[in-house]
Amino acid sequence: MEEVRIDKYLWSIRVYKTRSDATDACKGGKIRLNGTDVKPSKAVRPGDVISARKGAITYTYRVLEPVEKRQGAKLVPRYAENITPQEELDKLKSPVETFFLKRDRGSGRPTKKERRQMDSLWDSLNFEVPDDVAEKFAADFGLDDGAEDGYDEE
């Protein structure tokens, strides 16, 4: 087989779970072949370089052999070489900045829905503050167990 559609190829080498996902990615401008945006019907040949943007990372593959049928994960290296730069792969390990919640000044209190979403995010992070950090924070902001607030615990 000398050439195959790029959407079929991306599906067959397991870049996308379904062929329609691969087609949508091509239509959405997330796939580049040798540096140019492509339509799903564009043919790939051995030696072509494919860039697929998934989230914040752009994966890069070199076509070794075109294939139409979906391949097992162990067979994929026979048909495509992953040449993604290390800088792109390092993005997987770096903390995502969107975890830090920021609200525009003057936007008011969060709605009930927004508050539930924030709580869900924090719960999913499994973030626990060490006791010594919590105590220092409380002391710095006057939140320690002192009676400055007018309430005594007895």
pLDDT digits (tens, 9 = 90+) for 93-129: 765 555 555 667 777 888 899 888 888 877 776 666 6
CATH architecture for the domain at 4-90: Roll (3.10)
Kindly calculate the radius of gyration of the chain based on its CA atoms and give it in whole angstroms: 25
Q: What is d(CA 59, CA 51) in angstroms, rounded to the nearest whole number? A: 6
| Every domain of the chain and the residues it spans | 4-90, 97-140
Q: What is d(CA 37, CA 42) in angstroms, rounded to the nearest whole number? A: 10
Q: Are 61 and 83 in contact (CB under 8 A)?
A: yes
**Is residue 133 scored above 70 in pLDDT?**
no
Position 151 confidence tier, pLDDT thresholds 50, 70, 90? low
**Is residue 46 scored above 90 in pLDDT?**
yes
pTM above 0.75, yes or no: no
Q: Are 40 and 6 in contact (CB under 8 A)?
A: yes
Q: What is the pLDDT of residue 61?
A: 96
